[in-house]
Structure 1
Amino acid sequence: MRTLRMPPWLVGVIGGTVLIAVWWLAALTVFATAGSGTTRAIPTPPEVVQGWLDSGLEYYWRNFSVTLVEAAQGYVWGNGIALLLAAFVLVVPRLEGVVMQLAIISYCIPIVAIGPLALIIIGAPSPGAPSGTAVFLAALSCFFTTVVGALLGLKAADAASLDVVSVYGGTRFTQLVKVRLVAALPSILNALQIAVPAAFLGAVLGEFFGKVELGVGPAMIAAQQGLDAPRVWGIALASGAVALAGFALVGLISRAITPWSKGRA
């Protein structure tokens, strides 16, 4: 008996429709009286859409463009340092414990604790410029995931292939370039994919400390202080959409570079 299998996009559409329906129902029933004055704590989907239209594309672009630059810079710095350290560990294996301890420490320290310290050290940015604190927290948010993913991937190389390189006089660096990097690509790309939303979230959190005038963080703070629930939800949903788009983009790149990881030729 054949089972009906729906394509992934249809499953996503159905799941999204169900979530919107539940959200709409909750806004009209359970949370209908929650809020302050005439503003509900949970607006309905049409109210959020109307908030998008009232704010305009220019408002979202003006704020999101700053945060995206901060997230991109932090993404490059955090992942670049993580990949370099992971490669260095394979050349000098004795440093693995130090690198892992550094990664764990960076992951365990709460961002709300390190954010003010980063602001004091880095300083406030000039008006309209990206926040150095946001860039630092974006890099910190994706560092741990990439270090662990890269180390696990680089250790997944086939032992027989490594022996062949050694027999022909290859060094550890030759093994790294010829064998380990190829075997580690799926794990590294998966880590880089997970790092996309982490970097964006780190940049947004950094803007709460960085005393910036433009960005998703200041826009969210202004909407909260104005008790503008539709705009708060609109910014939150737009942030999720941007992070999801980046996650999907890196996923497509991963599938194109490493088709064998998905069982395709």
Structure 2
Amino acid sequence: MSSKRAVKTIVSSIQKLYPRALADSSWDNTGLLLECPLDTEPEKEKLNVLLTIDLTTSVVDEAIRNNSGVVMAYHPFIFRGLKSITQSDSQQRSLLRLARAGISVYCPHTAVDAAVGGVNDFLIDVVSLGKENEASREVCQPVDGVQGQEGAGMGRVVRLKEPITFSELLKRVKTGLGLKHVQVALTEKHENPEAKISSVAVCAGSGASVLRGVDADVHFTGELGHHEALGLIENGTSAIVCGHSNTERGYLKTFQTLLTKELKNQHDGEVEVIISQTDKDPLEIV
């Protein structure tokens, strides 16, 4: 539980790092989606934030158990208008439980995707192992006009100073995201694991629409349809597909570091930002 002042501090800190103006408002639903602060304003208050990709029942249990004041759920759990809120729907039950517990929920989603230093820059770092190894880093779909976010936008393309083998690229992706297995769609030239890669396009989550038509040796994303994968191969581009939220979850450590620092700058008191231990991608490769 958090006071209105605490919720405001947490929300303003998240929005300073990831301005809502960066989000794709044509379809995305970002911002403070559940607001239920305490009526009182304690003189001394701990700011307690739980970070997750998806707001599942187990994450709600965790938030209540940890006495979180705000949950930062990367994916919005409300997309369309609600005509009723009942116990018959699992997400609505979670909403009611959080409201009763006085826990607010903020969802930044595509604002984090587009931000400079956000999730897509994180994925490029996984590929290149640092800007010193890059000839260039470009945005696929720029988002302009947001102060302090010059160079923001959806998707990224990196061109490496020194080409690497496809097997090395796979190793970097698995290590950077903490995965044992990924899916690949290989062109004939990349069926040789020693084939060289000099350019990689990335987009967290479901990246097919953002990366459509982007010229790169490999497209690296979380989710790709059957015909989209075929289309890439037919046009000479291979793909690495890791599972939708697996391309996003690794960024939570960076989010944790940045948000903790910003909250400590704004709040004269104790701050705790933790990452959910139960949040995980619903699909597994076995």
Query: TM-score interval w.r.t. the shorter chain?
Result: under 0.3
Q: Which of these two proteins has the greater Rg computed from alpha carbons?
A: 1
TM-score (norm: length of structure 2):
0.26
TM-score, length basis structure 1: 0.27
